[in-house]
Amino acid sequence: MVKRVGDKIFIAVAPKRGKGDIEEVAKGGINLIINNRPDGESDDQMSSAEIEATARALGMDYVHIPVIPAQISDEQITAMAEAIKQAGDGYILATCRTGMRAMTIFALAQAKIGVKHEDLLGLAKTMGFDLIDHRERMIQLNKAHAEAEKAKAEG
């Protein structure tokens, strides 16, 4: 199942992603797959290397940012923000087993670049994801962004 998050990003729920699924998203115009699922999470999942090889053979870019629930680092948030930025106007599919990690790291990455936490919580809720446990971190990321923008304007 794929859910549209914004103009160019989609979140995929993928308990088991197969080559046919990757071929299908390529036909749908996806330019970048961001895989938020660690390798070895289950015995029946494709490895990151297999997903990457399939995606690249179909003309898509690929980024692996493996996330363990409730252990999202600042480095992973930055990597997600950079991957989204580098995709430019292309369409992005962020994926994990249930969609929760992909939605969470997407929201944190957006908070880091200044999207208001209230908007992100609301968006997630409309999609069936409850990110209230990440509210404080989103607020901190919003504040850090605002301070950086203020310093840039003053300096």
The tens digit of pLDDT for each residue in 16-51 reads: 667 888 998 899 889 999 999 999 988 888 999 999
Report whether 38 contacts 67 (CB < 8 A): yes
Q: Model pTM greater than 0.85?
A: yes
Report whether 115 contacts 34 (CB < 8 A): no
Question: Is the pLDDT score of 62 beyond 70?
Answer: yes
Question: Is the pLDDT score of 14 beyond 70?
Answer: no
Lowest mean pLDDT: which of 6-10, 49-53, 84-88?
A: 6-10
Any idea where the domains of the chain sit in the sequence?
2-148
Return the closest-CA partner of residue 70 out of 118, 106, 105, 33.
Answer: 105
Question: Is the pLDDT score of 134 beyond 70?
Answer: yes
CATH topology of domain 2-148: Protein-Tyrosine Phosphatase; Chain A (3.90.190)
